[in-house]
Structure 1
């Protein structure tokens, strides 16, 4: 045991180092999400349970599932010993030094779950022969890619959110499935869904995988399903876990007749197709094409500028809008596109009972499909694919190449979240350091298998650097700054959407190739 503990001492150093590093951002810029969570502390502390999802004195109403609301209530019990004024409902936009310190440290402390989950994921790495040098070990590289992930650092510890805590549940659940401890994995994911419902993106992968791999105990020699091997008691165990968690979470609101009110807060479809600035997905490409066609139509005098919606899709507001030229997209259309995009991955995992890595790949495809085609997707949701892909990246050269494209593109798409001059050098330096490490470490891991990127991918990523220079340094000095203030956001989202879409297609290609190899065997 002593030898084992000593061999993992490097992980402790990484974890302590990143925790101390996060504390450097305590007095950095924070977004409106800081006030969102302060208000949720006040709601859950000051009001009875029956009013949590009805309170609307602030525009930042409670819109996370009940288990996260209980987390906020637990944090509020500690917060009252720091500065009780932060728990007053009428104290809007309150940010005393004590409040800032408490909320920042609450994120750092809840990240302990993410640190534990990262260690469990590192234990799941498959390698032929581990190098003697610790810095070259796949587990060390994975630990750095997870613990020091650029996106998590800026989103949680500058912009302000609790994604590390939430992704801790996801990665720990993934680790348990990779270890074939499926009931624990199902429990963790059920809890996660009741903490933040955005993880419904990957729920289909969990459902099909658990039904196929856990509830069917044997296959025929050709790999097809042997229906006689279906284990109803296993299905009952899984169902009991999921139902129990949801009953614990939503049960009180069902008893009070408030389920519809809670659901309306969780799924506000009136927010529109795109977020205030577009996530780099298919709808960014669609909306960008709409803007281009509108401008071209006016130039060619095929359209009257006065007849077009004012600043459609780029007004910086969260609202329902109409496209100017192309047909507007209803929520049902986004749902249909998402289902069609994930269906081949789900069929593939249904045909493969044994294959925990296939489950992870299916999870990634579900995450990216939902990101690309979902309704009102937030740009931060790209981390739902980037973080799990880190596991595959240290095991496979091809996945490492996909990771480099997706992480570089997805991380840069988060740049507009930090728009104050003081944070410019921070985000640039952190992004550059993380990207250089990713390229170097993964390149060394897979050195014997050839280059990780093809020339086309290299050209695309160099183009991303050009977009960054134009948007961050040239545009603020140009005369277009006043006339077209959202042009950098549009350019960033559209260009990054190309890289995210490409990564999605490459992941599907690797899935199909692995299926063909399995058939040949």
Structure 2
């Protein structure tokens, strides 16, 4: 079933080959050229292009492997000085590379579906579907996710491949295969360091469920006793060994060459500023907006306001100082993120018997990092949506939150596509995914007929907010130009970011409350 769905979506993705391509297309072409044509010592120091290599070394090796095949399509794409090169064969190869490596996403989905079928997990109500099964719904929700289609197969990135690795790691953890899960996650961190967002959930769950053992157990020789359990030196050593082996395989050559600091400076460029050019719809988008409104009000009241205060709405990737509110530093965002994660991590520590709490904690760690992190990209919203898909087919409340979050989150990615030909396409992708999710999840939980005044599983207020995305879409693409022509070009992005930030913040608070205080999901999974 999974591979059939994967094949169907591959056919659809082939139709997107000629679609709009962002600068990320040139970014990855340049990385192909760097890893293929330059010696290892220059991979993280070359500056021929402004799109320098800034992913962990394991991803650089992934690009190196792709470049061996790319040479068979068009060697011209592998010249470092061939900037903005985009021959027909180059486009075809890069598009195909994303489509084919999405097989990892299918494999990760397959592993999660296998867990659902074999685990005997209990639900709050019977599954009732007109056709298919919960696992087939999960496959379509993930493999057909509108956000992934927009970001990977139009905008251009390899997120599907990376999320596939994450799903395999999650599935192994749910199956109790702790070392296998740790290995997959170590590989993932060395492919893209954004997944550090969810690393605390792995650390707490592995420590609580794998490293703490009964004193009489075979691996129980340890350091100290906690709640009747002993910290196993043997098991901690195994985890450290796995993580150390993967990290050394990834970073080792650069450490030997004395370039470890150079690699780290590429991975963590803190001078990029608090927000991305298009503000991710998080707490800082709301914070920036309050500051901007305060500036406008202050000027109306005759207060002395610096003339540079409007710069933060110019869409530039740079550091800026807030005017009316305190300016935010990377240290502040780190503290806010850590504080936001702590309740979820504590809950996970206190309830080790339920492996699905691990998935919930992953979602909340991703949520906290998205809401309060430094220079968060809008694409990071997928880090909450994809794992939440697994919970959405198990519990009604999480299905409700998923419907709201996936619709808002996928919509928040539509500004990445701004060319006229892609406007109807991106709208249809988000709409079709939302309709499928609402219809199938509504049927799945055997609900009575919904009211005409609200969407399935949502309240009237949630329905009103969700439907508000439609007039926002019309304003963004039609009304703004009619009203302002070429003036205020950043306003549609600002409105989209702030509107979506309100909904995503609501989803974060609602899901957190559900995780911490709801009793519906306390039943054990066998």
Q: Determine the C-alpha separation between the residues in 1 that align with 2:63 and 2:370.
A: 27
Q: Determine the C-alpha separation between the residues in 2 that align with 1:472 and 1:354.
A: 49
Cα distance change of structure 1 residues 517 and 393 upon mapping to structure 2, 3 Å threshold: closer
Residue of structure 2 equivalent to 1:502: 506
Residue of structure 1 equivalent to 2:329: 330
Cα distance change of structure 1 residues 227 and 243 upon mapping to structure 2, 3 Å threshold: farther
Give the C-alpha shift of residue 354 in structure 1: 1.7
Residue of structure 2 equivalent to 1:469: 474
Query: What's the Cα RMSD here?
Result: 2.0
* TM-score (normalizing by structure 1): 0.93
Cα distance change of structure 1 residues 96 and 349 upon mapping to structure 2, 3 Å threshold: same
Q: Determine the C-alpha separation between the residues in 1 that align with 2:129 and 2:36.
A: 50
Q: Determine the C-alpha separation between the residues in 2 that align with 1:206 and 1:498.
A: 29
Do the aligned residues in 1 keep the contact of 2:127 with 2:445 (CA within 8 Å)? no
Give the C-alpha shift of residue 226 in structure 1: 3.2
Cα distance change of structure 1 residues 226 and 87 upon mapping to structure 2, 3 Å threshold: same
Residue of structure 1 equivalent to 2:488: 484
Give the C-alpha shift of residue 459 in structure 1: 1.6
Cα distance change of structure 1 residues 132 and 490 upon mapping to structure 2, 3 Å threshold: closer
1:459 and 2:464 matched = yes
Residue of structure 1 equivalent to 2:411: 412
1:301 and 2:302 matched = yes
Q: Which residue among 200, 203, 209 is the counterpart of 2:199? A: 203
What does the per-residue CA deviation read over 1:173-195, in whole Å, with 9 as the maximum and x for residues that have no partner? Answer: 11111111111111000000000
Cα distance change of structure 1 residues 403 and 132 upon mapping to structure 2, 3 Å threshold: closer
Do the aligned residues in 2 keep the contact of 1:30 with 1:160 (CA within 8 Å)? yes
Q: Which residue among 47, 51, 75 is the counterpart of 1:84? A: 75
Residue of structure 1 equivalent to 2:311: 312
Residue of structure 2 equivalent to 1:375: 374
Q: Determine the C-alpha separation between the residues in 2 that align with 1:228 and 1:398.
A: 34
What does the per-residue CA deviation read over 1:332-367, in whole Å, with 9 as the maximum and x for residues that have no partner? Answer: 000000000000111111112222101110110000
Cα distance change of structure 1 residues 361 and 96 upon mapping to structure 2, 3 Å threshold: same
Residue of structure 1 equivalent to 2:168: 172
Do the aligned residues in 1 keep the contact of 2:108 with 2:168 (CA within 8 Å)? yes
Residue of structure 2 equivalent to 1:255: 256
Q: Determine the C-alpha separation between the residues in 2 that align with 1:55 and 1:227.
A: 54
Do the aligned residues in 2 keep the contact of 1:308 with 1:324 (CA within 8 Å)? no
Do the aligned residues in 2 keep the contact of 1:334 with 1:373 (CA within 8 Å)? yes
Do the aligned residues in 2 keep the contact of 1:136 with 1:444 (CA within 8 Å)? no
Do the aligned residues in 2 keep the contact of 1:218 with 1:229 (CA within 8 Å)? yes
Give the C-alpha shift of residue 475 in structure 1: 1.0
Give the C-alpha shift of residue 452 in structure 1: 1.6
Q: Determine the C-alpha separation between the residues in 1 that align with 2:381 and 2:129.
A: 32
Do the aligned residues in 1 keep the contact of 2:212 with 2:230 (CA within 8 Å)? yes
What are the residue-to-residue correspondences of 1:59-138 with 2, within 5 Å? 59-125=50-116, 126=121, 135-138=131-134
Q: Determine the C-alpha separation between the residues in 1 that align with 2:296 and 2:193.
A: 38
Q: Report how many residues are paired.
A: 504
Structure 2 residues not aligned, in runs of 5+: 216-224, 451-455
